[in-house]
Structure 1
Amino acid sequence: MSALNGAMPHVQVLAAAGARSLAECAVPLGQSGWVSFMVGTADRDTLDATLRTRLKQVAEVAAVSDRRIMARRADEVRQVSDAFLAEASLQMDASLDVKSTVRRVARTAVPAIAEGCVVHLCLPEGLRAVSLAHVDAGEQQWLGKVAAEDAWLTAALQRVLDSGQALALKGEGLRGGPFGPASSGAGRAVRAISVNPLKARGRTLGTLTFLYHRTVVADGASGFLAGLAARAALAIDTSTLYEERRRHVVSLQRHLLPSELPRVPGLELSSAYEVGDVSLDVGGDFYDAVPGAGGEVTLLIGDVCGRGAEAAALTGLARHTLRTLIEDGSTPEHALERLNQALVREGTSRFVTALVAVLVPDGKGFRVRYWSAGHPAPLVRRQDGTVAELLAHGDLLGVLEDIEYGSESVRLAPGDALVMFTDGVTEARSADGTFFESRLRDEVARQGAGEARGFAERLAEAVVEFRATGADDIAVLVARAESAG
């Protein structure tokens, strides 16, 4: 005891108890910790082999207990990490919109993982910060400026992109940058940063950066951060691919429909098209309007069964066949017959429905004759708001070699409107299972009370607002005779 520092608290305690000799056993613990056991004796001879054996046994028990505690803690951390990653995946996968997805990535991580988070993506114009979050809302603007403009951070991110490996910096590793004690302003609170590459499906999409105010958070978390980055990258990549496919589908769909409707004296034409399928396959609905030399106009609307590339091909075939034949002077009956023959020759398993209406000027209104090939019956909205369904019957196209077409006629007085649509309108369902068909006439009466130019768009919007289920597209074509005076 005399050889020890008498000022040390444990020496003072042992000396006060009468100890003259000291035996100590030190045991290393997990996370760089230590524990020591000390026994003081009245004389040195008491420190025999038996006491040493007892101390060794105590040390072994302590070491085993520590390993068990550390294993249990590691298992708890693993369970919490797995649960967080699962919840984060659900949150990030909840949207197929790219902007919404990257916002969810940042908001999911703050403050659960770190005090700040920045998502950078590799865009055509270069690496750009697209989303960020900070636990202190007052630091959002500072973090946004650093993420967009700081050269030190940009260089660090580029190192990660070039190597494909994660990077963790603290202490001296932050020197020269906007973070750490040596920096100024809000960056002084940041004690460490970690940067993980966002990689999915063989592509590097960008980086995921975390800012820590507590360095301990960044220690030993490489596996967890890599897992989170992988999930974030997959969600972002999925959203990006979805957006690209959507643009392609919209472009293709646009080419399957007329770019604009013709101007017909005495008529106001309007149309609308709404995609109903979340899988983003091209739909089979089509419409067109073909003006004639005598002031008449032929309206076409149809629907190809199914979706996808084959449906798109048949949609183009159906619309352009009918339009070309009518422009060349064929009657609607002949045009429908020729289209049916073409579809039968194709040997496709898909059928087509179509409705052709010819509107001929008749005094102050129009005389309408229409032909149906298995298509939903059109409606007429009179100027006083009453709505009537027109008789329509006929065989589907592309099924039988010899078919019959239903043909009827009606007159549109000034202010009256002919409303044509596909079955995506009637078969749209609300959350309680109600079909839109049950309220179609009321909506036609209501939406037709507004300006003639937007009649079709308003009706389609009413269907979309009503629809909770239903994967079919919606096409609406409306012709309203101009009101007298």
Structure 2
Amino acid sequence: MTTANSRADEIDTSWPARLHSLWLSAQDVENVEEMARHVYAAMLAEDEVLAVTGSRWEGDRLRYLRVATTTQSTTTTTAAAGTAAGRPVPPPEPGRAVGRPVVHHHDLEAGAEGFAPEGRALADAGARYALESRFRLGEDDWASFSVGLAEPPGDPAALTSRLVQLSEVLVVSNRRIVEARDHERRLIEDAFLAEASLQMDASLDVQETLARVARLAVPAVAEGCAVHLFADLGGLAPVASAHVAADAQPWLADLARDDPWFADLVDRAVRSGECVVLSGEELDGAPFGPHTDGPGQPVHAVSVSPLRARGKALGTLTFIYHRGEEAVAGTRLLDNLARRAALAIDTTTAYEQRRRHVEQLQRHLLPNALPVWPAADLDAAYEVADDSLEVGGDFYDAVVDREGRLAVVIGDVCGRGAEAAALTGLARHTLRTLLEDGVLPELALQRLNTMLLDQGTTRFVTALVAVLAPDGGGGCQARLAAAGHPSPLVRRRDGLVEEVRVAGLFLGVLPDTDLQPTSLRLGPGDSLVMFTDGLTEARSASGVFFEEHLPEVVRDCVVEEPETAAGLVARMSAFRATGSDDTAVLIAHVKGAAG
């Protein structure tokens, strides 16, 4: 007697139960091979079926053939890359929708023309008759799922229906696997692109950015990478390259620089404006591929992506693949990486150009050389601390007037940028002209104040002027006037450091600057140290101003040695943790011996 519980424990081997099990398996399998084993087993459970085959095609090229019989587990044969199957019967017509199976019947004893190599495999398994289901998986990607029988089926409609159902399971399973892999690949690609952007944007140095672009992609994208950019005279020139193998790097660099085939390839990519990918026979005549020697021998594919940013063609990004043409990065990754690389390169190039322009303009706002004066040596230093690529307002100058006296000037225009640069040039050249004519320091500053007020400028200027004249005793008499500028220091020959108090209001604010000039004597070996507030207002990490250490640093740095001004600025730079103001230092060191 059969009970309900015993019936429940029996395994249901009916076709609906097997099909249901297959649909469940289709949700979990991770690759087509695993799904194929489930499908083959389901069909081999049919009483009439002796063997099954599954084949994957790319156009008329066989990618692989799998065979399973009732007595033998699944075996897979992979066709040689590029080998055509020579199949007389064409694949599913191009207009047929993906996943719509078409079933063909084949009498294997009659030769089954157009059913190779599946027909031979089924005949070898003892089949004399076959049913074949063909279905499209992609644009040029299709598959064939076939069953071999000892004789025509007793119920052709039922077997055909089951063959179609299993084909549809394979289509759905393949779609899910492809979508899962595409999703995973996109996540990996997006993570790589995000990291690549961070790395490429981390530097504003052009050469460093170019090197990072090449290094980032090796070996993440390909085994080799070369970057070409348009040179100033037009035409593409190699600017960076990298290869996973150290001994292949010189080879790749030479090819990128000298090989005509390589040059034509990158030119083609620029002209087309699209990514160019070459593999297989397309590499004939190239310095890559199986017909070449050396490091290029194992190259299977090459891709070249144009570099464009902000509407400009910048160059190309070339990848060399040793890993096989099937591993060539997708167009989405290549285009995205090229776009990000182009933006990084364009940004750093623009930054470098502007930095050079700012440096050139800044040099024009400073004297080309300081004058040689018999009674004193002059030394100056200038440091740009701000990274905003705006011209600063610090300036200095020195002239010998018509009476043979030495006039030294240091000043600072409020703010940065074009307006500050224009005002800096006006202030420096105005003071230079007046002092060359022998005008006293306080009068020269007052004349400049009047000119600034007439200009209607919204910025103020600070300045310090000192005029030195030999006193006949080996030293110099100095007359100083300051307009809102930091007071200078005097380092005496014995190391004593003194502050020279000079009072006056900013220039360009009020008609009356209330300038109060002062005089002092500089003996042999004494130094007058003039500077802008970038020196005094530099702060340490604890918030201490460099001004507190300045007398001590001047005593140590301002000695009878070259580069004393540069040494003073270097000490400040090492001290500074915060603060980004430019710094100018001008030192007049009195020569001669005590009388």
Calculate the TM-score normalised by the size of structure 2. Answer: 0.75
Contact 2:301/2:328, CA 8 A, preserved across alignment: no
Question: Cα RMSD between the aligned structures?
Answer: 2.9
Residues 46-445 of structure 1: pairs in structure 2 closer than 5 A? 47=155, 49-125=157-233, 126-216=235-325, 219=328, 221-362=330-471, 363-445=473-555
Task: Report the more deviating stretch, 49-58 or 327-336.
Answer: 49-58
Partners of 1:161 and 1:51 lie apart in 2 by 56
* Cα pair distance change 1:403/1:207, threshold 3 Å: same
Q: CA deviation at 1:22?
A: 6.6
Letter in 2 for 1:339: L
Amino acid aligned to 1:59: S
Indicate conservation of the 8 Å contact 1:169/1:194, yes or no.
yes
**3-state DSSP class of the match of 1:189?**
coil
Contact 1:286 1:475 in 2 (8 A): yes
Q: CA deviation at 1:388?
A: 2.4
Distance of 1:219 and 1:236 partners within structure 2: 24
Partners of 1:292 and 1:2 in 2: how far apart? 113
Which residue, out of 438, 447, 465, partners 2:557?
A: 447
| Offset at residue 218 of structure 1 (A) | 5.3
* Deviation for aligned residue 1:261: 0.6
Match of 2:587 in 1: 478
Tell me if the contact between 2:209 and 2:344 (Cα under 8 Å) persists in the aligned partners.
Answer: yes
SS of structure 1 residue aligned to 2:438? coil
Match of 2:68 in 1: 10
Shift of 1:466: 3.2
Say whether the 8 Å CA contact 1:290–1:323 is kept in structure 2. Answer: yes
Task: Give 3-state SS (helix, strand or coil) of 1:247's partner.
Answer: helix
Indicate how the Cα distance of structure 1 residues 217 and 463 shifts in structure 2: closer, same or farther if over 3 A, else same: farther
- 1:183-211: per-residue Cα shift (whole Å, max 9, x none)? 11111021111111111122211111100
Structure 1: distance between partners of 2:412 and 2:550 = 19
User: Mean alpha-carbon deviation: is it higher for 365-374 or for 178-187?
Assistant: 365-374
Q: Work out the CA distance in 1 between the residues paired with 2:132 and 2:341.
A: 51
Matches of 2:150 and 2:477 in 1, distance apart? 123
- In 2, Cα distance between equivalents of 1:459 and 1:101: 33
Q: Comparing 381-390 with 275-284, which one deviates more in the overlay? A: 381-390
Residue 377 of structure 1: CA displacement? 1.3
Residues 526 and 589 of structure 2 are in contact (CA less than 8 Å); yes or no, is this contact kept in structure 1? yes
Whole-Å separation in 1 of the counterparts to 2:335 and 2:52: 49
Q: Which amino acid aligns with 2:175?
A: R
Distance 1:177 1:44, change over 3 A: closer
CA deviation after TM superposition for structure 1 residue 333, in Å: 1.6
Which letter maps to 1:353? T
For residue 56 of structure 1, give the secondary structure of its aligned residue in structure 2.
helix
SS of equivalent residue, structure 2 residue 578: coil
Q: Contact 1:392 / 1:406 at 8 angstroms: preserved in 2?
A: yes
Question: How has the CA–CA distance of structure 1 residues 428 and 141 changed in structure 2, closer, same or farther, with 3 Å as cutoff?
Answer: same
RCO higher in 1 or 2 (8 Å CA, sep ≥ 6)?
A: 1
Distance in 2 between residues matched to 1:222 and 1:425, nearest whole Å: 54
2:283, 2:153 → 1: CA distance? Answer: 56
Q: Per the alignment, in what secondary structure is the counterpart of residue 211 of structure 1? A: strand
Give unpaired runs (5+ residues) of structure 1: none
SS in 2 for 1:96: coil
Mapped partners of 2:197, 2:454: distance in 1: 49
Shift of 1:389: 2.1
Distance 1:367 1:397, change over 3 A: same
Q: Which residue of 1 aligns with 2:39?
A: none
Q: Which amino acid aligns with 1:64?
A: V
Deviation per residue, 1:127-165 (Å, 9 max, x gap): 221111000011111111111111111111122222322
Whole-angstrom CA distance in 2 between matches of 1:176 and 1:398: 73
Tell me the secondary structure at the aligned position of residue 95 of structure 1.
coil
For 1:304 and 1:234, how far apart are their aligned partners in 2? Answer: 35
Contact 1:23 1:47 in 2 (8 A): no
Measure, in 1, the Cα distance between the counterparts of 2:514 and 2:405.
Answer: 25
- Secondary structure at 2:419 match in 1: helix
**Identity across the alignment (%):** 54
What is the CA-CA distance between 1:64 and the residue it aligns to?
2.0
TM-score under structure 1 length normalisation: 0.91
1:58/1:263 CA distance change after superposition, 3 Å: same
Q: Secondary structure at the match of 2:389?
A: coil
Provide the rounded CA distance (Å) in 2 between the counterparts of 1:395 and 1:34. 90
Q: Counterpart of 1:247 in structure 2: which amino acid?
A: R
Q: Deviations over 1:249-276 (max 9, x none)?
A: 1111111111111111121101111112
When Rg is computed on C-alpha atoms for both structures, the one with the higher figure is 2
Are 2:51 and 2:67, in contact at CA under 8 Å, matched by a contact in 1? no
Contact 1:295–1:361 under 8 Å retained in 2: no
Deviation at 1:432, TM superposition (A): 4.5
**Are residues 472 and 57 of structure 1, via their aligned partners in 2, closer, same or farther at CA, if it must alter by over 3 Å?**
same
Asked if 2 retains the 8 angstrom alpha-carbon contact of 1:102 and 1:131, the reply is yes
Task: Map Cα deviations across residues 10-57 of structure 1 (whole Å, 9 max, x no partner).
Answer: 24627999999776656555694747475x889855545445444433
